Structure 1
């Protein structure tokens, strides 16, 4: 009888454990990049972590970065307040990925990509004058993925490596770096999807499927 009771309790504990893992996995999925719409693009060439992509037209909500670690100057909250109703029509827009950071000597910009079904004329004017809207035409980018949390050192290393890869392939960057971050801050660094992108010329046809 004692063995049967131990076996029964072990079975119950195993079921509880498996259910807990399932719940945690569901919560992670719902709060990770898998739960959000992403900027649309087609892969033209793929070589490991390096890709050439054709991005579809998009609308960006953007705000200046004051320098330092991205988001700690309030830039992320300004954009988040805008998409959650801080605009003339109290319009609410879905969060998407990635969050974009354009590095510039003056401090740069942070941008949210607005949902694909929302055109620029349909977006309400931001209540905060430091938030602006901009339509972007279809553009070709070279992209390089890299792991880890946000840091200037990782960004510099990734950008330098991307420029090396372009040079090796006879391609030329036509813009400064744009960093794309796909994951919420609680994602373990080794699981994060980060990218650095630069604009390049349309030098070869697109043949791959969209993302």
Structure 2
């Protein structure tokens, strides 16, 4: 039987209210500034746990989050806990096989793929198999994306607004778009809106660049 660190979980939940993510791993990337507020990121290959959910955007995100949280909290063939990572992503089911990012866009049948990225120490061979057959483990190819960060409202309307902002910036800078837009969410719903970290990203052709390169992640 696994021991659960209740005080630790409570402390992390309280800190997350103000947007503090304790020990949460993010996928590694190289970052280049394009403009004030927009960066180009280069991600390497990753592994994600994903699930497909039918319904409207917000409902699909909530259901998908619960399914994937179940997997990383022990609903797998080894009853093993996997560390939580950020961000959580959402992509239309119609484009998941065609584009590498986790995109957020509406389809005719309202099917969405929700993803958690796995910590870097795991491989496809070492990750435990999910108990829920609606949860799948998938490799995610490396990609180059332009990213715009925002806080506050993360409704479909807010995401669409920031996507259009980012599209205009890319057009103004002669950056070629190479795929569908992405929405990434780094904080739980109870985080104070002004402390939330949300991002929209659009895949671009590798080799597009901006200012000085930095190592982040």
For Structure 1 versus Structure 2, the TM-score category normalised by the shorter chain is: 0.7 to 0.9
Matching residue of 2:216: 210
- Contact 1:66/1:73 (CA < 8 Å) preserved in 2? no
One of 109, 114, 117 as aligned partner of 2:113 = 109
Q: Which has the higher contact order (CA 8 A, sep 6+)?
A: 2
Distance 1:60 1:72 in 2: 15
Matching residue of 1:21: none
Q: Aligned pairs, how many?
A: 188
Report the more deviating stretch, 94-103 or 201-210. Answer: 201-210
How far residue 174 of structure 1 moved from its aligned partner, in angstroms, is: 1.6
How far residue 204 of structure 1 moved from its aligned partner, in angstroms, is: 4.1
Shift of the 159–99 alpha-carbon distance from structure 1 to 2, 3 Å rule, reads same
How far residue 70 of structure 1 moved from its aligned partner, in angstroms, is: 4.5
Report the more deviating stretch, 201-210 or 75-84. Answer: 201-210
Shift of the 182–49 alpha-carbon distance from structure 1 to 2, 3 Å rule, reads same
Matching residue of 1:97: 86
How far residue 45 of structure 1 moved from its aligned partner, in angstroms, is: 2.4
Distance 1:124 1:195 in 2: 29
- Contact 2:78/2:128 (CA < 8 Å) preserved in 1? yes
Larger radius of gyration: 1
The answer to whether the aligner puts 1:173 opposite 2:160 as a matched pair is: no
- Contact 1:65/1:73 (CA < 8 Å) preserved in 2? no
Distance 1:134 1:32 in 2: 28
Consecutive unaligned residues in structure 2, runs of 5 or more:
1-10, 92-103
Distance 1:182 1:64 in 2: 20
Matching residue of 1:57: 45
After TM superposition, the runs of 4+ consecutive aligned structure 1 residues lying more than 4 A away are 24-27, 70-73
Judging by fraction of residues, say which structure has more helix. Answer: 1
Matching residue of 2:75: 86
- Contact 1:53/1:141 (CA < 8 Å) preserved in 2? yes
- Contact 2:40/2:146 (CA < 8 Å) preserved in 1? yes
How far residue 207 of structure 1 moved from its aligned partner, in angstroms, is: 3.0
How far residue 91 of structure 1 moved from its aligned partner, in angstroms, is: 2.3
Report the more deviating stretch, 105-114 or 63-72. Answer: 63-72
* CA offset digits 1:107-144 (Å, max 9, x no partner): 32111011011112111221111111111122111111
One of 140, 157, 167 as aligned partner of 1:163 = 167
* CA offset digits 1:28-68 (Å, max 9, x no partner): 16983243111211102242321100012211111113232
CA RMSD between the two structures: 2.4
Shift of the 155–107 alpha-carbon distance from structure 1 to 2, 3 Å rule, reads farther
- Contact 1:32/1:184 (CA < 8 Å) preserved in 2? no
